[in-house]
Structure 1
Amino acid sequence: MNLEELNFSLGTLQWVIMAVIGIYTWLTGRQAASNQELQEQRTRLARLEEQLSSLPTQLQITELISKLSHTEAQLAGLNEQFGAVSRRLETINNYLLQKK
């Protein structure tokens, strides 16, 4: 093996080592970016789960709708009663104005 072959072999070996280091660095960088993206996704998912846990369930919404319907019916009944009271009050007012 002469000096020229040895120099070529060392140059080739140096190029191969640099290529391996470059590929390793690239893969490590991608892995770090993937880990960071995964952590961001986990954080977003945790926030979303927290928001969803505070939302009412379907059963709670159904109960609320039922209670609102019941309240609406009660208000309609009170409105009718107030109409009757208003008519009676008008009659009493007219009577008192005529008697004076």
Structure 2
Amino acid sequence: MFVRIVKMSFHKEHIESFLSIFEEKKTLIRASKGCTLLELYQDKTTPEIFFTYSYWEKEEDLETYRNSLLFKEVWAKTKALFNDKPLAWSVDKKVSLQ
């Protein structure tokens, strides 16, 4: 299992459009093979910045999603709303305390 973190920054006037896209597609994204968690965060001090955290069973599962029609549709709509280049990381969780 690994975590995919994506940082996205939007023009203020496009935040609601992004949230609408996410709301519409989040269940389908989460239902993708190998995706075990999907979360969306918004920065407290810079509300134009959002992060998605998704947990994936295998790297192949993420790649299958990234090559899917669903991803291509969501990404095409989302990237048109950016005000900066998105950043993404794939990381292994080392410690989790709850």
TM-score range, shorter chain: under 0.3
User: Which structure has the larger Rg?
Assistant: 1
TM-score (norm 1): 0.19
Structure with higher RCO (Cα < 8 A, 6+ apart):
2
* Higher normalized helix content (fraction of residues): 1
